[in-house]
Structure 1
Amino acid sequence: MSDIAAIVVAAGRGERAGAGVPKQYRTLGDAPVLAHTLGAFAAHPAVGRVLAVIGEADAIQYKMCLSCLPDTRRLLAPVSGGNTRQASVHAGLAALADTPPAIVLVHDGARPFLSPALITEAIAAARAHGAAIPGLPVTDTVKIVDEAGRVTGTPERAGLRAVQTPQAFAFAPLHAAHERARAEGRNSFTDDAAIMEWAGHPVHVFPGEATNMKLTRPEDFDTAERHLRRDATLVSRTGTGFDVHAFADGDHVWLGGVKIPHARGVIAHSDGDVVLHALTDAVLGALADGDIGSHFPPSDPQWKGASSDRFLAHAVALLHARGGVLDHLDATVICEAPKVGPHREAIRARIAVIVGLPLASVSIKATTSERLGFTGRGEGIAAQAAATVRLPANRHPTDAPGV
């Protein structure tokens, strides 16, 4: 038996979603939302057990979900949840405690679009760190507001993440933290990471997925239906990119959003990050939407010294706006120096955060040109890249959604 179990929390009433039934049992496509969610875990080869925590009155609706699944062998008998999410997770952990898994994933029943890659990444992060949660960079400015509605602070966005599920943990510490919180009457935690933080455990954040949305309001179901329709008719595209910069006086270069000490700098209008520039062109190429220079012309002074993560994030935002999905990024750095190997994982992690991909979907390689050409003579640095995307079929890639 696999040492990994998943708890799918589905005991809430979901009243904000409307329609008179709990949101996890509303039909999405041809099956209830919860069926999509359970199916994602039941189909993943690394997950040995899947436990749903449901409302006491939802047994019949839960059976309807099971009838929509092709394989229910990994699903345990459901358990009844409590009045809060924390109580429901505690019930799930207690049900697993007699034969505890090594790793437990805790996921919201109303997040039906998690990918196999995200589950794999969550498991790997839990094994590496003991407690790990998926998160996306916050793109809107966030304000801290007091009871009177006055702004009291504006935190830096760079340190903020919008947290998702599945949250992944070593089972024993999470179970112990829940037991302690219950014994001490601490019952207001809104996610399991907060309980682990309170119990003194460090929590690692790994890149989430923009498509891993939580269905909360009626309009979310409209978005979800469009997502299903588009996903059923998406076609794959591949774009490529290339960038080069000459060396100049300086003490560092930027590669993939990471500042790397070096004996030289580069000549560039922006920060000269050849990896992010090549990746940006690769995404734009898959969209058939020009190149980085047409979107961010070097003649425009606002891009002087700009951080290149803005360019890549813009290209990915264009992809999402057209109903597309980013599947994979691959880049190769070409230079004699600096050495990329010691920084490879930091670069992969930074790119994953910028674009909202799992780490497993970002590849970074490096090579020399055997001392041939300008890179071989140490005169500059280059990068080439490829992006694999999916776009809605039967639509020109520059059409707006719904056109």
Structure 2
Amino acid sequence: MSTLIYWFCNDLRLADNPAFTQACLKADSLLPVFIHDSKEQETVYGFERLGLHRKAFLRASLDDLKAQLRAQGSDLLEFSGQPSEVLLQLLKDSAADAIYCEQIEAPEEIEQVRMLQEQGADVNEFWQSSMLDPLTLPFELAKMPDVFTAFRREVERAQLKFAQPINAPKKIPSLPAILSQASMLPTTAQSVSHPYLLGGASHAQAHLKQYLERRLPDSYKETRNQLIGMDYSSKFSAWLALGCISARDIAAQLSDYENRYGANDGTYWLWFELLWRDYFRFIHFKYGQKLYRASGLTGVPVKPSYAPSFEQWCTGNTGTDLVDAGMRELHQSGYLSNRMRQIVASYWIYDMQGDWRAGAAWFESQLIDYDVYSNQGNWLYIAGRGTDPRGGRPFNVAKQTQDHDPREIYRKLWLSS
């Protein structure tokens, strides 16, 4: 009899989850778990790594996953602690043979797996968070093009679109009869305060369905830089970040949409943005820990942040209306349009001479769609410390204001709240 532990991380779904499917096929009994990491919950800047909105969106997503597992006779057990310590204890308590999980190619997650393996744990990782299968790329990841445009051209030349998603397992093995309940967490549901987005795989699929039914992909390229509302952008990112839906699933349904209605600039641009997401993932295989150095991939030192100016930026009290409106939206809702993310990041780095790492940490705390790869990649990009040979990306805030909020609608909305 084989007992396995399935460690859910940023893959809170049953459909198109190859790691979970393999665990179901291999196990006679299966223990699905999620671990709330208790290590270093406060940043060096004095605020929580997991802010209020992120916690609420995660809670809703876990409750949704739990309901799906229970509907098939299983469950989701939640624990709080240092992941390697919790998992080692669970291996002992359950007499499990191995741990199955998704592969996350970021420093903290790599270290967690390393510590487990050092203690003799059998950890089976599966890469499954990208739209493309890295094994099909026309280059080795260690030698991938540094510049996104060159990366995209090679992908398109190879006529790669997406890896085919797979269905959810038809049967989930029963739970092992074990466990002390001492370290388990209560699972009281909370609702995310953002008016648009509810966590969980069922909400992700419902959102994608209505987005396609309303033919919103057709207008995506024209509307994607707007600042207010639900429909100017796809809003897939929060569900993608926690793996409530996979990039492959979105790309496959988008392809079906193109087959039905025809491809256009909007559908291409949605795929293009998913490809950017893949690029930020794949570049981690090439540069790894170097992406997390203060200087990034450059040798340029970082100026220290000054607490008063950082507090002004975080709370939206810089005196620059568009920036302040954006930072207040972020703090109040846990979300910010892509255009405003670039504007406020540029303002912090170039106008306020702030440390890009502090800005990245604030985004990590606040954004319900925080994704380690994209957050790191985008901040390095704006700061000129990543792979872009053209250097940093300072934005002219006056021009951005005129271009994107000429009638002050956005500023009035958030500065008056």
TM-score where L is the length of structure 1: 0.29
Whose Rg is larger? 1
Higher relative contact order (CA 8 A, sep 6+): 2
TM-score where L is the length of structure 2: 0.28
